């Protein structure tokens, strides 16, 4: 028994050392990249995408992420920025979708490719903590039931919302949209919208198209009470790579 414990302890130490070495390797690579990088430079979108892809050298397919710093006052309820964007080239992630529906709409959800479909039975699973999905959709008649799950789904950002198209009778469209690459964006307290727009394995053109689609969606969500510049700053990065500042004028769809 003592020998077994000793073996487990040694293996645990080896695992910790390996993880530390891996982290150190990434840190050294990141420091070297940042040292050689002009941190004051503002990049055109296409050049930024090329640079970020080149430096996404982790052993996994890194997510490419954009951060948009908005000139909004999030303390004002009429200046909350939130919405959905359908990325033309998808996210590169497999999205698991749950649908609260019954009868014909439940069958429609299953045919559309929903991973979980139900009503009371699905609600019981959620209450037990069995949340094996990334997006939650509900038909309007299911909202009295789903509303009782707010304390569980709300903190995870999974509560269906009519403004996001996740409370709808168009179950097929909502499921296919979620599976096809629609992403939710929401401004944080600091007024920053942070969204994954694809994978490092995507070609440059597809990433540029996705980023511009998101930019246009956030632009359309601009609150009427916003004063001054709506877009203040923007940056692009990969999961393990350095971030670069973006030239805002290059984000529009009609930018050269």
**Per-residue model confidence as pLDDT tens digits over 42-85:** 999 999 999 999 999 999 999 999 999 999 998 888 888 999 99
Q: Phi-psi bin for 81: left (phi > 0), alpha (psi -120 to 50), beta?
A: beta
Q: What pLDDT does residue 61 have?
A: 95
- CB–CB of 222/81 below 8 Å? yes
Residue 216 has pLDDT above 80, yes or no: yes
42 in helix, strand or coil? strand
Q: Give 98-135 pLDDT, tens digit per residue.
A: 999 999 999 999 999 999 999 999 999 999 999 999 99
The pLDDT score that the predictor gives to residue 95 is 92
CATH topology of domain 97-180: Rossmann fold (3.40.50)
* pLDDT beyond 70 at 38: no
DSSP state of 158: -
Other Cβ atoms closer than 10 A to 41: 12
Considering only CA atoms, give the Rg of the chain: 22
Q: Across-strand partners of 192?
A: 69
Domain assignments of the chain as residue spans, ordered by start: 39-91+183-250, 97-180
Residue 136 per-residue DSSP state:
E
CATH of domain 39-91+183-250: 3.30.190.20
Model confidence at 222: pLDDT above 70: yes
pLDDT digits (tens, 9 = 90+) for 133-187: 999 999 999 999 999 999 999 999 999 999 899 999 999 999 999 998 899 999 9
> What pLDDT score was predicted for residue 77?
86
Query: What pLDDT is recorded for position 217?
Result: 96
What does the pLDDT read at residue 3? 59
Q: Say yes or no to pLDDT of 7 above 90.
A: no
Residue with structure tokens 């789903």? 146
Quick check: do 39-91+183-250 and 97-180 share a fold? no
CA 140/CA 135 separation, integer angstroms: 16
171-180 and 104-112 helices cross at what angle (nearest 10)? 20
Note if the pTM is more than 0.85. Answer: no
Q: How confident is the model at residue 227 (pLDDT cuts 50, 70, 90)?
A: confident
Residue 2 pLDDT: 57
* Longest alpha-carbon distance in the chain: 69
Spatial CB neighbours of 88, under 8 Å, sequence gap ≥ 6: 181, 206, 209, 210, 213
pLDDT > 90? residue 204: yes
Distance separating alpha carbons of residues 24 and 22, to the nearest angstrom: 5
């Amino acid at each position: 028994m003592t020998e077994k414990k000793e073996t487990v302890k040694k293996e645990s130490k080896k695992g910790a050392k390996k993880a530390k070495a891996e982290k150190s390797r990434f840190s050294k690579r990141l420091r070297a990249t940042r040292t050689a990088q002009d941190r004051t430079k503002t990049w055109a979108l296409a050049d930024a995408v090329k640079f970020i892809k080149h430096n996404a050298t982790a052993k996994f397919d890194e997510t490419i992420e954009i951060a948009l710093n908005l000139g909004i006052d999030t303390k004002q309820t009429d200046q909350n920025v939130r919405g959905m964007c359908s990325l033309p080239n998808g996210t590169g992630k497999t999205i698991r979708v749950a649908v609260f529906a019954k009868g014909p709409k439940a069958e429609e959800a299953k045919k559309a490719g929903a991973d979980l479909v139900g009503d009371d039975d699905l609600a019981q699973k959620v209450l037990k903590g069995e949340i094996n999905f990334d997006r939650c959709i509900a038909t309007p008649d299911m909202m009295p039931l789903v509303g009782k799950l707010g304390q569980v789904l709300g903190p995870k950002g999974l509560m269906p919302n009519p403004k996001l198209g996740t409370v709808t009778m168009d179950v097929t469209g909502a499921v296919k949209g979620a599976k096809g690459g629609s992403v939710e964006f929401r401004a944080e307290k600091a007024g920053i919208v942070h969204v994954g727009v694809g994978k490092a394995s995507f070609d440059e053109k597809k990433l540029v198209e996705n980023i511009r689609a998101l930019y246009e969606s956030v632009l359309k969500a601009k609150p009427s009470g916003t004063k001054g510049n709506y877009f203040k700053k923007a940056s692009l990065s990969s999961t393990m790579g350095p971030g670069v500042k973006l030239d805002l004028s290059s984000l529009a769809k009609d930018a050269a």
